[in-house]
Amino acid sequence: MKGVSLATTSAQRKWAILIGANEYHDSAINSLKFCANDTKSLREVLVQPDRGGYDETGTVLLTDGNGRDSLPTRSNIMSRVSSVAKMAEREDSILFAFSGHGMEENGLSYLLPADARTGVLAETAIGVKWIKETLGHASARAKIVILDACHAGAMKGKADAGRMTEKFSSEILDLAEGFAMLSSCKLNESSYEWEEKQHGVFSYFLCEGLRGYADADGDGIVTVSEASSYVTKKVKEWAFRKSVQQSPNLEYRVSGDIALSYVPGSFKAISQASQARTEETYVSSMSLLHWDNEGRESANDKAKALCAKLLRFYRADEITAGEKDVYEFPDGTISYAGGVTLEIRYDASRINEIDTLVRALCSGLEWCSLEYVFTKKFDTGKLIALCNRHGITIRSYDPREVSPIVVSAPGWGTVGQPARVSFLNSSQGAVITIVQSYRGREVLEDAFYDKLNPKTIVEFISPALV
């Protein structure tokens, strides 16, 4: 588990100032098309309670088309930044995001509000230095600055205007402790807009990443560094296809990593926010299935390889040949009819030993599905409400409760690929079957048990068990 700072608590408030400037009053400054879309999309992600967790009353949106007090003008921006900086308390965080033109004039770096005037930017624009100093004086322990600026062709008749200059770049790199600065391009590069997506390229991939695609380790938390890695990779790929140069950059001066968003339906994200805890395991057994198209002999060879691993945990006389195509050991069975099925029985008093056993047996073989059987059954109404609450899409529902409820669960799958999960009440108890998509195939990812283990499963599903 990565060291994530600023996980949301009741004492912490997350402030956001989001600015998008498309239209410029100065006829010498070229208008942009999609900056308003960028900031509106970012706001949508941030204010979702189970994703960004930002309070709507603490999230300021200044963009074109709003009322006078919410336009992206110099006075509105400076007053909102100053107010938030004064109100933020020690445990709070402040996110400042700007989508629009950035420019250097007389050796100083500026973000251009809608009413900026070239030639007098010191009096009409927002100095990058001023943003850093004002936020730097805030008590908030973390300040996140996201700049999608330095757009190509900022000024009419000047092709190079808007590129990231050396001075602008050095201003971004020079950060005080407590700052994270994510910018859309590097020295001598420009930021681009994407006509097809109706967004800036950088902002499009940033919002996509915050929706869960950037959660590289699958722990249900998208951090600043994960968002940066995802956006940088995606923007570079886009730029390569378009034969241009754009490489986002992250400068970081914060202890620990900062959580930017959570993935609905993810076990670890839910367990952080959940107040419910249980002393019982509720899990009676787990099963793993490996399809083998090479026939019984091949499946038997793989089953015997698993038996060899069991020698680390049991005496040789405890591993026996049971009924046809089955090997037995004290905590479960291995069958090799039509593939390899590993079944392990859970003992709550030996859960750490069982976990060690499972991790050893999981490695080295490509498993196709994972199944848990519980000692209790599902309350269907509670289960459906739980899925709806955590952004898990129900794909199939049988009112007769003969066939399983099938869902698409983002936090249960691999990066960018929801898992297909089935919930069913059997005579033994509730049953959950999980199928992931990994590397273009329906197989479980290598480290699936880090996320899909009994503890995280139970933390999620226990409100629906009766």
Count the Cβ atoms, other than its own, within 10 Å of residue 221: 24
Terminal-residue alpha carbon distance, the chain: 31
Give the 3-state secondary structure of residue 273. helix
Q: Which strands sit side by side in the sheet containing 257-262, from one edge to the other? A: 4-5, 257-262, 221-223
452 vs 216: CA distance, rounded Å:
16
180 vs 460: CA distance, rounded Å:
32
Distances (CA, A) of 456 to 118, 206, 266, 272, 328: 56, 28, 9, 11, 28
Segments of the chain assigned to CATH 3.40.50.1460 = 4-263
Phi and psi at 132, nearest 5°, equal -65, -40
pLDDT at 217 (0 to 100): 79
Q: Where are the beta strands (DSSP E) in 191-329?
A: 193-194, 199-200, 221-223, 249-252, 257-262, 283-290, 320-321, 326-329
pLDDT at 44 (0 to 100): 94
pLDDT tens digits, 234-293: 998 888 878 788 889 898 887 677 889 988 766 555 444 443 333 356 899 999 999 877
pLDDT at 185 (0 to 100): 86
Q: What is the b/e burial string over 60-82, where b = at least 16 CB atoms within 10 angstroms of the residue's CB? A: bbbbbeeeeeebbbbebbbebbe
261 vs 322: CA distance, rounded Å:
50
pLDDT at 158 (0 to 100): 45
Please determine, looking at this structure, whether the domain spanning 4-263 carries the CATH number 3.40.30.10: no
Tokens of residue 278, six digits: 């249980």
Give the 3-state secondary structure of residue 117. coil
186 vs 279: CA distance, rounded Å:
52
Low-confidence ranges of the chain (pLDDT < 50): 1-11, 153, 155-161, 270-279
Kindly give the pairing relationship between strand 59-63 and strand 14-20.
parallel
Q: Which amino acid is at 62?
A: L
Residue at token pair 């998008």: 20
Count the Cβ atoms, other than its own, within 10 Å of residue 160: 12
Phi and psi at 6, nearest 5°, equal 65, 35
CA 113, 116, 122: angle at the middle one, nearest 5? Answer: 105
Tokens of residue 31, six digits: 């208008």
Q: Is 163 left (phi over 0), alpha (psi -120 to 50) or beta?
A: beta
| Nearest-10 Cα torsion for 345, 220, 218, 241 | 160
Q: Which of 228, 223, 235, 222 lies closest to 249 in space, CA to CA? A: 228
CA 99, 48, 89: angle at the middle one, nearest 5? Answer: 75
59 vs 119: CA distance, rounded Å:
32
